[in-house]
């Protein structure tokens, strides 16, 4: 292998294959995984993430993360981990940028709405939607017959984006308050799913996907915690109140489905509180914001460094690429991530005051889906219009509507709902 592709040491021609073979210029200077990353960076789907909810709506202020800024932060964490672990950094970076491309308007709340609406027709799952977007919806590689192959990424890159390498029928409900069903492919995407997973251990994520998943967990837990504090959903004084600690730990334990004992969660909370930058008061002054930023930076550094050290200690000396290892995440790291996520859930996502807002979002998407279905192929974008024209049954028609809504931003969903339905749901 020449120096142009030295970053792909440990990967094979099989890993670099594309579902639709492409000719490559003999003078090409980039490796295949660098090309994959560039395709995602330049995709319209990535740009749309800038107007999609992470946890707090983009319309609620300029500080909180959007899906795009979250994805950029995940990519930064994942890329550095890949370098430390000897993985292809472009591939992991790309997987981190792509991991939320399939998410609909209004974040996980939008996922619930679309899944409920289409449950009898295959359902909705953001990760399965990401595979669909990468392999058919995002316009890049299209045959002369008009078949779209999406971005036509390499086998290893597609596999690196796959958090849940199984179908819905093989999924096991997750533990926790939501008991979500997570899966990586719809039934009508099985051809490309089976191609990208050919030869892979059953239900085992590639190492690159494991790094992406962990980087997402770290960014999600720490940055949503930061956003919730700045947006005043978390009262740091209440968080420091030991008198209400038992109630807080109960809510955190309920959120993670008892996967980690209450005692372990309590110990993790104490470790977090012992941090030099942990806040007991907060205001939006430069001092307060600077201290909070130092806290988030230090937390990310601690969670990642302990995990990388554990992986390297437990792994063989040869390449970890693809299926060369199972990531070892220290139990204390898992517990601290669970506490941070659970705090946000307790103060924000499980808050009764927020429940009407979440119900309003779900009602809006449900009404929009009904209106689009009733319009019989009208009001669809180019891809969905073409897909509607060849849809022959209710399963295919519902999938077209789901594809259309999943591609909308928060604001475009509101605008289209206003045009088709008129009144905003109460």
Q: Are 263 and 316 in a shared domain? A: yes
Q: What band does 106 get if pLDDT is binned at 50, 70 and 90?
A: very high
Instruction: Tell me which DSSP letter residue 101 carries.
Output: T
Q: Are 86 and 124 in a shared domain? A: yes
CATH of the domain at 131: 1.10.3210.10
Q: Is residue 426 part of a domain?
A: no
Task: Answer with the one of 164, 196, 228 that is the final residue of a domain.
Answer: 196
Q: Is residue 202 part of a domain?
A: no
Q: Are 185 and 162 in a shared domain? A: yes
pLDDT higher than 60, residue 282: yes
pLDDT at residue number 377? 96
Task: Answer with the one of 335, 352, 369 that is the final residue of a domain.
Answer: 352
pLDDT at residue number 62? 73
pLDDT at residue number 58? 66
Q: Are 363 and 346 in a shared domain? A: no
* Residues 36-46: tens digit of each pLDDT: 999 999 999 99
Q: How many helices (DSSP H) and strands (DSSP E) are in the chain?
A: 19, 0
Global pTM reads 0.95
- Cα separation, 211 vs 95, in Å, equals 9
pLDDT higher than 70, residue 86: yes
**Structural domain tally of the chain?**
3
Q: Are 340 and 365 in a shared domain? A: no
Q: What is the mean pLDDT of residues 8-18?
A: 95
Q: Are 29 and 178 in a shared domain? A: yes
Q: Is residue 425 part of a domain?
A: no
* Residues 176-186: tens digit of each pLDDT: 766 789 999 99
Average pLDDT, the chain: 93
Q: Is residue 201 part of a domain?
A: no
Q: What contacts 282, CB < 8 A, 6 or more positions away?
A: 229, 236, 288, 292
Domain hosting residue 367, numbered range? 356-420
Q: Is residue 254 part of a domain?
A: yes
Q: What is the mean pLDDT of residues 209-219?
A: 98
Q: Are 346 and 385 in a shared domain? A: no
Instruction: Tell me which DSSP letter residue 202 carries.
Output: T
Q: Is residue 307 part of a domain?
A: yes
* Residues 118-167: tens digit of each pLDDT: 999 999 999 999 999 999 999 999 999 999 999 999 999 999 999 999 99
């Amino acid at each position: 292998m020449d120096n142009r592709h030295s970053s792909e040491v440990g990967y094979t021609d099989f890993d670099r294959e594309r579902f639709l073979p492409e000719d490559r210029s003999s003078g090409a200077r980039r490796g295949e995984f660098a090309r994959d990353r560039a395709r995602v960076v330049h995709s319209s789907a990535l740009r749309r993430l800038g107007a999609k909810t992470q946890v707090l709506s983009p319309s609620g202020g300029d500080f909180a993360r959007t899906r795009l800024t979250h994805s950029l932060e995940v990519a930064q964490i994942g890329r550095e981990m890949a370098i430390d672990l000897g993985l292809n950094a472009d591939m992991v970076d790309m997987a981190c940028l792509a991991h939320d491309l399939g998410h609909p308007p209004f974040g996980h709340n939008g996922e619930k709405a679309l899944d409920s609406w289409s449950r009898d027709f295959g359902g909705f799952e953001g990760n399965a939607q990401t595979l669909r977007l990468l392999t058919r919806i995002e316009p890049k590689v299209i045959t002369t017959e008009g078949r779209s192959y999406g971005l036509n990424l390499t086998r290893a890159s597609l596999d690196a984006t796959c958090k849940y390498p199984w179908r819905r029928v093989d999924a096991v409900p997750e533990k926790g308050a939501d008991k979500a069903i997570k899966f990586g492919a719809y039934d009508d995407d099985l051809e490309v799913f089976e191609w990208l997973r050919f030869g892979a251990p059953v239900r085992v994520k590639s190492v690159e996907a494991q790094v992406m998943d962990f980087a997402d967990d770290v960014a999600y837990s720490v940055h949503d915690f930061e956003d919730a504090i700045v947006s005043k959903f978390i009262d740091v004084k209440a968080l420091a109140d030991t008198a209400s600690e038992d109630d807080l730990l109960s809510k955190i334990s309920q959120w993670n489905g008892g996967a980690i004992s209450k005692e372990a969660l309590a110990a993790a909370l104490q470790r977090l509180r012992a941090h030099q930058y942990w806040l007991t008061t907060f205001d939006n002054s430069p001092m307060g914001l600077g201290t909070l930023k130092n806290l988030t930076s230090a937390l990310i550094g601690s969670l990642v460094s302990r995990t990388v050290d554990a992986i390297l200690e437990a792994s063989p000396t040869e390449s970890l690429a693809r299926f060369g290892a199972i990531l070892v995440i220290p139990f204390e790291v898992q517990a601290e991530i669970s506490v941070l996520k659970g705090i946000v859930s307790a103060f924000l996502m499980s808050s009764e005051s927020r429940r009407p807002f979440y119900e309003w979002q779900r009602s809006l998407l449900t009404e929009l889906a009904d209106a689009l279905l009733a319009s019989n192929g009208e009001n669809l974008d180019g891809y969905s219009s073409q897909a509607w024209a060849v849809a022959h049954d209710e399963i295919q028609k519902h999938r077209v509507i789901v594809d259309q809504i999943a591609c909308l931003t928060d604001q475009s969903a509101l605008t289209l709902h206003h045009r088709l339905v008129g009144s905003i749901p109460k």
